[in-house]
Structure 1
Amino acid sequence: MTQPTALSGSNAVADLDARTTELDRGHVFHSWSAQGGLALLPIAGGHGTRVWDHAGRTYLDFSSQLVNVNIGHQHPAVVAAIQEQASTLATIGPATGNLTRGVAAQRIAARAPEGFNKVFFTNGGADAVENAIRMARLHTGRDKVVSTYRSYHGNTGAAVVATGDWRRIPNEYARAHVHVFGPYLYRSEFWATTPEEECERSLRHLRRVIDCEGPASVAAILLETIPGTAGVLLPPPGYLPGVRALADEFGIMLILDEVMAGFGRTGEWFALDAYDVVPDLITFAKGVNSGYVPVGGVVISDPIARTFDDRVFPGGLTYSGHPLAAASIVAALDAMESEGIVTHAKQIGADAIGPGLAVLAEKHPVVGEVRGTGVFWAMELVADRSTREPLSAALMGRAKGELVGRGLLPFIADNRIHVVPPCVVTADEVAEALATYDEVLSLLDEEL
């Protein structure tokens, strides 16, 4: 591990952690947070699945930061590609042709289903969703967007209102959004007891909402292929094809949000590859380049792309297809292919993460359910298995503190610990993390 060089005026590397905290508390305004009580870890560097502070304390990153560092920290091929592009052409506007941008779009389209040949680049996942909604509305001439309550689609105008969780409520400024309940058998809204019942009843619920809203007014159904922040909610067999059939019946566009689930996270290039479904629009970001440079986009089906052959698409961004981002995409996808990273993610999930979490669920009463695939898992923690009462926020906070104190960076959402390491995680690192989870879950069991 290479330690950082001290900044000018610092007498010791360890002082940089204090200086980082001082500057952060004094000048950085953080997302989704009350600012006064923040105490953030100072992070100075990283490699693979680990990060460290200036003093050399290391942490095993089982959050992948915001579930985006799929290829791991500081992958040399991606870093080198960014450096090379910066030395050649650091930036150029989107109203130009750029070879690196074209190659990046080609690489992404090659991973999409047949009939997807165009990519619109954005700065991240939220504005990818924003522009996918815009495309669906313009293509259909309709307005309404149906999405689920258990979802997160981003923090821009329409994306945050399409979101179903609490972050939508203070931000409801966009028009024509409708929400439904998606399938979630562990906490079924439909009194279902089997995956088949949950699928059938959630599809009927969706149909009834569309009927009541007026099918001719609905432009799009927007779903995360596998809802991520909402709980890694794998759709039951038949659900996504059923949504596709409903959309086809009423001339509605199906948008699948693959911002979190795409590019290796589920052990597939796109999460949709594991389901018998082809959408009309696919949004992506995060894992496409592991967040080394901000980027996202929309993969557009040919019929929607043709809508704008002779009609101006009324959208754009200064940094759409930024060459540094494009270079990082090409390098990341090529490395994931040549190094077998997506296949590895699938295998490590099936052989190590899934079985290991199942053992923890059997051992610890605080674990209500484990679910996931690839390197995309969640442990749902409960105060009582029989009632499935969610574990309290106070105890979830304690769990987070105990995990970090033991050198593991967790992803905590509501009453869940999401187990989401980089796709390159090794079996030994999984075992290390499972041992840490085991210790902390034992403490929670004692509390209950």
Structure 2
Amino acid sequence: MSATSITNEYVRQLDRQHVFHSWSRQSQLDPLVIAEAAGCRLHDYNGREYLDFSSQLVNTNIGHQHPRVIEAIRHQAEQLATIAPAHANLARGEAARRILERAPAGFSKVFFTNAGADANENAIRMARSFTGRDKVLSAYRSYHGNTGAAIAATGDWRRVPNEFSRGHAHFFNPFLYRSEFWATSEEEECERALTHLRRVIECEGPDAIAAILLESIPGTAGILVPPRAYLQGVRQLADEHGIMLILDEVMAGFGRTGRWFAFEHFNVVPDLIVFAKGVNSGYVPAGGVLISEPICRYFEDRFFAGGLTYSGHPLAMAAIVATLDTMSDEGIVEHADRIGRERLTPGLAELTKRHAIIGETRGLGVFHALELVSDPESRAPLPAATMADIKAALLEQGLLPFMVENRIHVVPPCIVLPEEVDQGLGILDDVLGRFSLTL
């Protein structure tokens, strides 16, 4: 079949006949077909355009098909397409150096993985080896990936059929809008969440806990920006009991919140930093762990029992180098911060005032969520069937959303233009206005 004769229907049928999708009932799928993309725009084979307010899985921070990144991948493929991780190669060294240049002081090395899930796996492995302890504490409102320890550390329902990994316990992280602690202010929510975490540590046995694993800002769980002092309080609890603090920056890192790392908003430094997604905008799969100096020193003369065939894959590393250089040269992180403060945050706040269907909006940079409710007083989540209808209406108007449960996550690429923000907000305004009338 020639490129000019390919149709949406052909690609859809090919997919449904031969592709097994994740997190799905296979018989109920009707995937959106995408043929090409550029910047914040996507097109199907019929030429229909969509404005990407999802960044796919919140990873195309630099936008689609950035020419500098595409050229870097092409050049690397011509020079050295693949090499075993035991060998030194220029692209991996340069990628590690650039990541460390953007990290806090006190981080020495990077261990590269294929994605965020196996980055979390290896951060847990490092913490267990370093401390000689086994347990890992993580939040119920979290997602850390779909591999053994990562899915067991995840808090949402998807962990339940997959809890094969040992030594995991969970706690409630702060979320004032749906507080587990009967709090009425951010200060109360923070204080009570930290008291709760202290009790979990005491009950699980402080000397048995290797790590506390937290997303700096939980993403899939709802873009839950923690109270200002919460992560500092977790850091203090970890230090008090000799527990490693692992911050998962897979979704929130590399410009998404208007900072290189989301934890910079909270004046806290972890022991291990997990990253993926935005580090090269997902152009080639890559993730990794930033390792602090004490843990690096520990493994100087001790065997690290971990490794991956594609750790530091040259094509992924070239994409990292080009992405981070481009983000610096073009001021993309600063742009994400500015457009978030000046355009997206106030625009979403205005939508919340106008539409009773929006219970709350929250976020930083280009990392926001709209919490949709069927009753503003009880805060009852909007039903799944209504959410599906809203998604269909948004797609019909040319907006590609990222939707989870009763939320619309407003997460365009970090390069999104003011006029694109206005276009997306206009579509949201129209669609949510129609559904608000039914409340």
Structure 1 and Structure 2 fold alike (TM over 0.5): yes
The one of 345, 350, 369 equivalent to 2:360 is: 369
- Secondary structure of 2:255 counterpart: coil
Offset at 1:212?
A: 0.5
Describe the superposition over 1:347-388 as per-residue Cα deviations: whole angstroms up to 9, x where unpaired: 000000001001100000000000001000000000111111
Q: Which structure 2 residues correspond to residues 15-54 of structure 1 after superposition, within 5 A?
A: 15-54=6-45
**Letter matched to residue 391 of structure 2:** K
Offset at 1:56?
A: 0.7
**Letter matched to residue 207 of structure 2:** A
Task: Work out the CA distance in 2 between the residues paired with 1:351 and 1:132.
Answer: 36
TM (norm. structure 1) is 0.97
Q: Which structure 2 residues correspond to residues 43-442 of structure 1 after superposition, within 5 A?
A: 43-442=34-433
Task: Work out the CA distance in 1 between the residues paired with 2:103 and 2:167.
Answer: 29
Match of residue 3 from structure 1: none
Offset at 1:274?
A: 1.1
Question: Alignment length, in residue pairs?
Answer: 439
**Letter matched to residue 259 of structure 2:** E
Describe the superposition over 1:28-69 as per-residue Cα deviations: whole angstroms up to 9, x where unpaired: 001101111100011010000011111111100000000000
Task: Work out the CA distance in 2 between the residues paired with 1:324 and 1:228.
Answer: 27
Task: Work out the CA distance in 2 between the residues paired with 1:103 and 1:256.
Answer: 23
Task: Work out the CA distance in 2 between the residues paired with 1:101 and 1:248.
Answer: 32
Offset at 1:177?
A: 0.3
Offset at 1:324?
A: 0.4
Offset at 1:418?
A: 0.4
- Secondary structure of 2:7 counterpart: helix
Task: Work out the CA distance in 2 between the residues paired with 1:165 and 1:121.
Answer: 26
- Secondary structure of 1:447 counterpart: coil
Describe the superposition over 1:389-415 as per-residue Cα deviations: whole angstroms up to 9, x where unpaired: 111111111111100111110000111
Task: Work out the CA distance in 2 between the residues paired with 1:446 and 1:173.
Answer: 46
Task: Work out the CA distance in 1 between the residues paired with 2:144 and 2:105.
Answer: 25
Offset at 1:444?
A: 1.2
Task: Work out the CA distance in 1 between the residues paired with 2:328 and 2:303.
Answer: 36
Q: Please, which runs of 5 or more residues in structure 2 have no aligned partner?
A: none
Task: Work out the CA distance in 1 between the residues paired with 2:36 and 2:309.
Answer: 30
Task: Work out the CA distance in 2 between the residues paired with 1:344 and 1:215.
Answer: 42
Describe the superposition over 1:288-340 as per-residue Cα deviations: whole angstroms up to 9, x where unpaired: 00000000000000101111111110000000000000000000000000000
Task: Work out the CA distance in 2 between the residues paired with 1:386 and 1:299.
Answer: 44
Offset at 1:73?
A: 0.1
**Letter matched to residue 311 of structure 1:** R
Task: Work out the CA distance in 2 between the residues paired with 1:100 and 1:237.
Answer: 37
Q: After TM superposition, what 4+ stretches of structure 1 lie above 3 angstroms from structure 2? A: none
Task: Work out the CA distance in 2 between the residues paired with 1:204 and 1:345.
Answer: 34
Q: Indicate the percent of aligned positions where both proteins have the same amino acid.
A: 65
**Letter matched to residue 393 of structure 1:** A
Task: Work out the CA distance in 1 between the residues paired with 2:7 and 2:78.
Answer: 30
**Letter matched to residue 225 of structure 1:** S
Task: Work out the CA distance in 1 between the residues paired with 2:41 and 2:228.
Answer: 36
Offset at 1:16?
A: 2.2
Task: Work out the CA distance in 2 between the residues paired with 1:37 and 1:237.
Answer: 42
Task: Work out the CA distance in 2 between the residues paired with 1:267 and 1:196.
Answer: 24
**Letter matched to residue 413 of structure 1:** V
- Secondary structure of 1:96 counterpart: coil
**Letter matched to residue 12 of structure 2:** T
Task: Work out the CA distance in 2 between the residues paired with 1:150 and 1:23.
Answer: 36
**Letter matched to residue 329 of structure 1:** I
Task: Work out the CA distance in 1 between the residues paired with 2:264 and 2:93.
Answer: 24
Q: Please, which runs of 5 or more residues in structure 1 have no aligned partner?
A: 1-6
- Secondary structure of 2:373 counterpart: strand
